[in-house]
């Protein structure tokens, strides 16, 4: 495997255009969290023509609802949640300047199209490696929707946060490529 | 008649909730290591190594294995000669879940289906009680994550679909689930019974140790064949492509109606959390 690419948000079109499905990256800097309920609220605000509680320009949203933080720690366990539940909302946020999303699992064609049109990236973190990932998160602060508990929007400062590019802005998809590459047909097994 | 205090049940359930979230079972660890030995994809090997390291970090008791510590599903085998004193057994279990999730810094994931408002303490837990002979109580707690539960299905096949139809359905379900349920997964299959019984059989199948096989040779063969078929799909660890899509397939079966062939597929992720205790 090749060396990981270092990324520091806010991301620009040039940063995003260079990335290809399958690239490993290490993210350092600010990442926002958000999942089902927070996404709904953000999109409802946009529908009403109101301003968002966070500026999305060039930012990355990490789909995560961490466990409660123990005293003396910066965050609890914080692995990715399944992304398709955000598919209805992501294209609207991408249109508004969102450049990256971190989650797990496939995205809809609408989201992939929005990523191609507006140059954005979908990254996967390893689902279930939540304790390991927490070690790369240096601080965590709730910046919106505290009432949502684990679903509140948090501002994370991360260092060397490991992720892999699943969908790039040319429409490539690592998941379908991975399955094609490793699928065995009957012949190979029986022959 | 043996008396068991409700507070003892609360204490045990709390302990089970903590253990399930922090201690990955030895059988799962061994299955991940075996996966690593077989895996040909470099990205897949990388993921499996990360999962083993993750389990080591979680074992220290500060960070749960996964941030989704699940809804608590509790199976109770209640001996008919046991008398619970002090409180209602259901409430004693709920209180154990409440305490375990609070004191263990576990995520509360229970919410109202419409408003999505969090109940705040991870209750109500899902409780399944069955009455058995004897004067013991067996309590099993499974922390069921949403990602893998969402990929589970019940299907009423036609009797003419037969054994092959069942196997095709299970394989198809795993294919469709793809990278969503955090592969490598464990697949529980329930065959027969009724609509809800098939689902229960599939869930109970997931409580078996990973390294056993069904005592019925026909079902043992089915488990083996399904595992082979699933690991040919190519989804691999974290869905990045590879051999290790499932760690095990467990099948449970019972008789069904002459007009029906129910089959349920309950998928579990590699955070295959279940702990049991006998009081
Ligand atoms: S599917 Fe399992 S490992 Fe993946 S996020 Fe959910 S609980 Fe965690």
Point out the least confidently predicted range of A69-73, A127-131, A145-149, B223-227.
A145-149
Residue B36: how many other CB atoms lie within 10 Å: 17
What pLDDT shows up at residue A3?
85
Residue A2 reports pLDDT greater than 60? yes
Number of structural domains chain A divides into = 1
H or E element at residue A154: strand A153-167
Count of beta carbons in the 10 Å neighbourhood of residue B73: 19
Confidence of residue A1 (pLDDT cuts 50, 70, 90): low
Beta bridge partners of B246: B185
The pLDDT of residue B59 is above 70? yes
Q: What is the pTM for the complete model shown?
A: 0.92
Q: In this predicted structure, what is the pLDDT of residue A29? A: 97
Written as six digits, the tokens of A179 are: 């399955």
Q: Give me B153's structure tokens.
A: 């299905």
CB < 8 Å from A in window 187-226 of B: none
CA-to-CA distance for B49 and B47, rounded, in angstroms? 5
**How high is the pLDDT of residue A190?**
42
All residues of chain A having their beta carbon less than 8 Å from the beta carbon of residue B235 are 178-179, 182
pLDDT score of A186: 55
| pLDDT exceeds 50 at position B246 | yes
Mark yes or no for CB contact A67/B116 under 8 Å. no
The reported pLDDT for the residue numbered B250 is: 98
pLDDT band at A149 (very low <50, low <70, confident <90, very high): confident
Query: Per-residue pLDDT tens for A80-94?
Result: 999 999 999 999 999
B59 C-alpha to center of ligand 1: Å? Answer: 17
What percent of chain B has a predicted confidence (pLDDT) above 70? 100
The CA B47 to ligand 1 mean position distance, Å, reads 14
CA nearest B107 in A: which residue?
A: A67
Q: Answer whether residue B211 shows pLDDT above 70.
A: yes
Q: Which two tokens stand for residue B253?
A: 């079966």
How many residues does the structure list for chain B?
279
Query: What is the DSSP secondary-structure string of chain B?
Result: -EEEEHHHHHHHHHHHHHHHHH---HHHHHHHHHHHHH---HHHHHHHHHHHHHHHHHHTSSS-SSS---EEEEEEEEETTEEEESS-HHHHHHHHHHHHHHHTT-----B-TTT--B-SSSPSPEEEEEEESSS-EEEEEEEE-HHHHTT-EEEEE-GGGHHHHHHHHHHHHHHHHTTTT-SSEEEEEEEEE-HHHHHHHHHHHTTS-TT---SSHHHHHHHHHHHHHHTTS---GGGSSSS-SEEEEEEEEEEE-TT-EEEEEEEE-SS--EEEEE-
Residues of A within 8 A of B63 (CB-CB) are 67, 76-77, 130-131, 134
In CATH, what number is assigned to the domain containing residue A24?
Answer: 3.20.130.10
Checking if the pLDDT of A191 tops 50, the result is no
Measured between CB atoms, does B241 come within 8 Å of chain A? yes
Q: Which residues of chain B are within 8 Å of residue A149 when distances are taken between CB atoms? A: 108, 118, 120
B54 in contact with chain A, both atoms CB, cutoff 8 A: yes
* Rounded mean pLDDT, A108-130: 96
Cβ <8 Å between B57 and A135? yes
A189: confidence class by pLDDT, cuts 50, 70, 90: very low
Hey, whose CA ends up nearest to atom 1 of ligand 1?
B147
**Residue B116 pLDDT greater than 90, yes or no:** no
Taking a C-beta distance cutoff of 8 angstroms, is the pair B266, B199 a contact? Answer: yes
Q: Which of 163-192 (B) contact A at CB < 8 A?
A: 178-182
Ligand 1 binding pocket includes A131 (Cβ within 6 Å): no
Which of A79, A84, A181 is facing B67, going by the closest CB pair?
A79
Average pLDDT, chain B: 95
Look at strands B82-85 and B2-5 and give their pairing.
parallel
In this predicted model, which residue has the larger pLDDT, B20 or A1?
A: B20
Which ipTM was obtained for this model?
0.89
Is B146 near chain A, with CB under 8 Å?
yes
Q: Which atom of ligand 1 is nearest to the CA of A82?
A: 5
How confident is the model at residue B139, as a pLDDT?
Answer: 96
Domain of A116?
5-190
Q: State mean pLDDT over B222-240.
A: 96
Does residue B115 register a pLDDT over 90?
Answer: no
CA nearest neighbour of A33 among A115, A137, A114, A127: A137
Interface contact A184-B234, CB threshold 8 A: yes
Ligand 1 atom, smallest distance to B145 CA: 7
A·B CB contacts under 8 A: 168
pLDDT interval class at B271 (50, 70, 90): confident
3-state secondary structure of A32: strand
Average pLDDT over chain A, rounded to an integer: 93
Pairing between β-strand B274-278 and β-strand B137-144 as defined by DSSP bridges: antiparallel
């Amino acid at each position: 495997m090749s060396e990981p690419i270092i990324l520091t948000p806010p991301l620009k079109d040039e940063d995003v255009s260079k990335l290809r499905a399958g690239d490993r990256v290490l993210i350092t800097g600010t990442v926002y969290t958000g999942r089902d309920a927070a996404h709904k609220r953000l999109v409802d605000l946009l529908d009403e023509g109101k301003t968002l509680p966070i500026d999305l320009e060039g930012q990355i949203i990490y789909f995560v609802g961490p466990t409660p933080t123990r005293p003396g720690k910066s965050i609890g366990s914080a692995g990715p949640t399944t992304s398709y539940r955000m598919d209805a909302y992501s294209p609207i946020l991408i249109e508004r300047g969102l450049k990256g999303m971190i989650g797990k699992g496939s995205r809809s064609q609408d989201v992939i199209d929005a990523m191609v049109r507006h140059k954005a990236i979908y990254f996967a973190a390893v689902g279930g490696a939540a304790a390991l990932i927490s070690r790369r998160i240096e601080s965590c602060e709730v910046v919106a929707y505290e009432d949502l508990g684990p679903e509140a929007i948090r501002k994370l400062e991360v260092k060397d946060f490991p992720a892999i590019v699943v969908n790039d802005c040319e429409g490539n998809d690592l998941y379908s490529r991975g399955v094609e590459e490793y699928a065995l047909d009957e012949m190979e097994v029986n022959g | 008649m043996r008396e068991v205090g409700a507070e003892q049940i609360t204490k045990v359930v709390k302990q089970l909730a903590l253990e399930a979230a922090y201690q990955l079972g030895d059988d799962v660890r061994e299955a991940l290591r075996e996966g690593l030995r077989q895996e040909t994809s470099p990205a897949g090997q990388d993921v499996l190594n990360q999962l083993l390291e993750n389990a080591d970090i979680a074992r220290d008791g500060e960070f749960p294995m996964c941030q989704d510590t699940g809804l608590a599903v509790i199976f109770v085998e209640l001996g008919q000669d046991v008398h619970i004193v002090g409180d209602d057994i259901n409430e004693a279990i709920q209180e154990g879940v409440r305490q375990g999730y609070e004191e263990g810094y576990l995520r509360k994931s229970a919410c109202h289906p419409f408003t999505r408002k969090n109940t705040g303490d991870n209750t109500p837990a899902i409780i399944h009680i069955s009455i058995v002979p004897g004067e013991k109580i067996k309590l099993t707690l499974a922390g069921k994550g949403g990602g893998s539960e969402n990929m589970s299905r019940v299907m009423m096949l036609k009797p003419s679909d037969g054994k092959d139809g069942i196997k095709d359905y299970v394989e198809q379900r795993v294919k469709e689930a793809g990278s969503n349920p955090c592969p490598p997964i464990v697949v529980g299959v329930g065959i027969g019974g009724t609509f809800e019984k098939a689902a229960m059989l599939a869930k109970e199948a997931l409580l078996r140790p990973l390294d056993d096989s069904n005592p019925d040779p026909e079902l043992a063969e089915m488990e083996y064949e399904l595992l082979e078929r699933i690991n040919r799909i190519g989804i691999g660890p974290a869905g990045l492509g590879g051999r290790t899509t499932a760690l095990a397939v467990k099948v449970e079966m019972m008789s069904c109606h002459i007009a029906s062939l129910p089959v349920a597929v309950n998928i579990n992720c590699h955070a295959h959390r279940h702990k049991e205790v006998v009081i």
